[in-house]
Structure 1
Amino acid sequence: MGLDPNLAEQERILDELRLREGGLARREARVERVFGGAFAALALALAASGDLTGVSVLAVAGAVLAFVVAARVEFDISGGFAVPTQLAFVPLLFVAPATHVPLLVGVAWVLVRVPDLMRGRASLSRLWVTFGNGWFSLGPALVLIAAGADDARVAAPAVLIAALAGQFVIDVIASALREAALRGPNLLEQIRELRLVVAIDAALAPIGLIVGLSAAAHPWAPVALVPLLGVLAVFARERRERLRSLAELSNAYRGTAYVLGDVVEADDAYTGEHCRGVVQLAMEVGDRLGLSPERLRNLEFGALLHDVGKIAIPKEIINKPGSLDPHEWQVIKTHTTEGQAMLDRVGGFMSDVGRIVRSHHERWDGGGYPDGLAGEAIPVEARIIAACDSWNAMTTDRSYRKSLPFAIARQELVACAGSQFDPTVVEAMLALVQPGDAEPAATEQLSVA
């Protein structure tokens, strides 16, 4: 995931944020107690085997303080969040005995959550999650201990590199096991989600190394990170607010679309019901064709609002029981451009939806309207809506006719593939529809405005 998340990533980030701000379900609480408790036990066991002689309390306190501040700087990403704790964790390896680093990390994580607990913004059960976040610290600590180094100051460069690698390995394994216990095994998905976290930690490690080396001579060096972390906190908070604003804007657009849909239905009950009927099938076809989350969103809105322009068409034409004369036919064709004009006034991505609405009566062979587009020049969302629109019209009852039998509707769609409809869209749609989707009736050719 990049710094500019796509629609699916935005939704997942907000879902994860809602989960983090709430309490834990019973199963989650049980899993987090196991993982958090196991880490706490290992950290205590390691600390009991070490010695604090000669340790600079000021340097350790500074590194722990910097860690606490860094852990409050949460950059939301898909699947969770990233924190710049590496800036403080690496110096902690230089100023504290390797045997005590995991325990100090665990204590720091608890201190991170104290403000949220005091304000009632987090439950006590979340402390187990906090302990579980410290597993990464065991990797470097165990590597340093195995190398016979009391701390990172006396470790060879190769050992430091191995310690960093150990951090990433333990972090990935612990996260994968925890997610497998919570949501089922999916190691590859976990690795994909952790790539950004690992990349961030690797990028911050050299800065942490410089601070750690400085801390040997200047115990207050880790505290110098706090102003930088304050700046990062501002950026992180702005990112989170931007994501919330994007979600609110998306909800506002969705609300606008459904209000317009209700207006269409109030103006013409069949058109409103027909538009809603097209949405579900169109979304299934779009998903089958592998459309991106953004294009699926546009497809949903386009399917819902593809006939919104009919609001501007005189009711005597819309509801005329017989055939339309040439003038009336030209008037009703304008519902595509009228619909686009309405959505352009809404702005944002609804302008993209407007272009889909404009093109949903274009034909694959170029014989449609209003622009005579052909083939791939027609937006794929419009091609999907065109086929689903016709299928819905064929397989639903109207006041003046019954729906077509499934076999006849299917035959009509196949016959029009390559001329009126995109053959790929027709193939995808016919793989989804079932015989029960249409009721038997007299054979009739289709004519859809």
Structure 2
Amino acid sequence: MTEITQICTTVLSRIKPNEAEKSRLKALAESIIARINALGEAEGLNIKGELVGSSARGTWISGEHDLDIFIMFQPDVERKELEEKGLYIAKKIARDSQSFEERYAEHPYIHAIFDGFEVDLVPAFKVESASEIKSAVDRTPFHNIYVASIIRGLEDEVLVLKQFLKGIGVYGSELKTQGFSGYLVELLIINYGSFVKILEAACEWKSGITIDIEKHGTLVHKDAMVVVDPTDPARNVAAALSLDNMCIFIDRACEFLKNPDEAYFSMKILEPLDDSNFIKILKGRRTSLLAIEFTAPDVVEDVLFPQLYKVRESIHEMFERYDFHVYNKSVWAQKAAVILFELESSKLPHVKRHAGPQVWSKEHALAFKSKYIGSDTFSNVFIRDGRFMVEIPRKYDGAKKLVESEILNCALGKHLALSIKKEFHVLEDEEILNIKDNEFRKFLRIFFEK
């Protein structure tokens, strides 16, 4: 037995669900599906419950008590009826849970806790083929059918690859994570045949790597990795995977093959960054930190994080327009949301050299000179490198004041705009230590240590 084989066997022994765990999951799924079907009959609705995702395909990791149960409506049902009736049925089912809440992705669904299992009750259309989907979730049952027909005998390879990706921090297709989805992992195993063969192949990957198992792709994608969906020739299963996370996997795969170590399969336990270490890091880096803090809107992460990224980029562009150079940036959210920037400096000279037109651009040159002659400037209009110049007072010489004054003019996104307009705080350097949340302090550690 090779060292890698021994490590994989050890890892598998702790992540593979035992028979008792499988039985609990199966019993709960069957119970909920039976209740959906019975309730549909009682309400005169042509619906059926269906278990989808890794729990249906036997590729779930022990301790991950997540169930995705779809409430399948006929395709001729109107979208509004699916949303209203689907939510009605889901809420009735969830009344027997310990707790539940309504969430919203493309349309509303219910997230509930049953006996320690997290269950998503999702209305969907039962279409004949993936090409006929009426909502994004409609294709998931086709993933079930495809994977179940091929994956038998390879489930352990899927589990080991999933745990490796978790250990190196790149598992999860959520827009917050931008990593490898469970379905993508299954397709990679189907394509390459084993965990080790995927690692070997990854050492040769480059940006734009394309995998088309069914050889039926119809579109050109510009993503870091392209894995054509076997059930939908126009879809890239790896679209959510970021270039950086793909490269992290490539790097760790090559490292593991050279020096196998079980540590790759365990997530690093992060300690919150305490006040003294934060101050020490800040003094050592000699940069400036600026945090915009506000209440996170009550939406699912796949809605929240794209808006956070959008605001982050908009503020970044604003900083650069006003000559504040961004060195690093990130976002964090739980009950509060924080957009964090590291700037080369949060303070600029009050004087700014303003470049005008070239001297031979007569009309523009005249307008420029007329505008600044006799105005509140630090210098007369002068010529440098063939252009008119003038030194003027800077509108904002502090980054904090800039954000406080101009953030509402940035592209905020629908939900963030409401939260930020209601209240926000701009914290600079050591003021950021007013945020005591341990998860935020772990985020701060990652922000600095990468």
TM-score of the two chains, using structure 2 as the length reference: 0.28
Larger relative strand fraction:
2
Of structures 1 and 2, the larger Rg is shown by 1
Larger relative helix fraction:
1
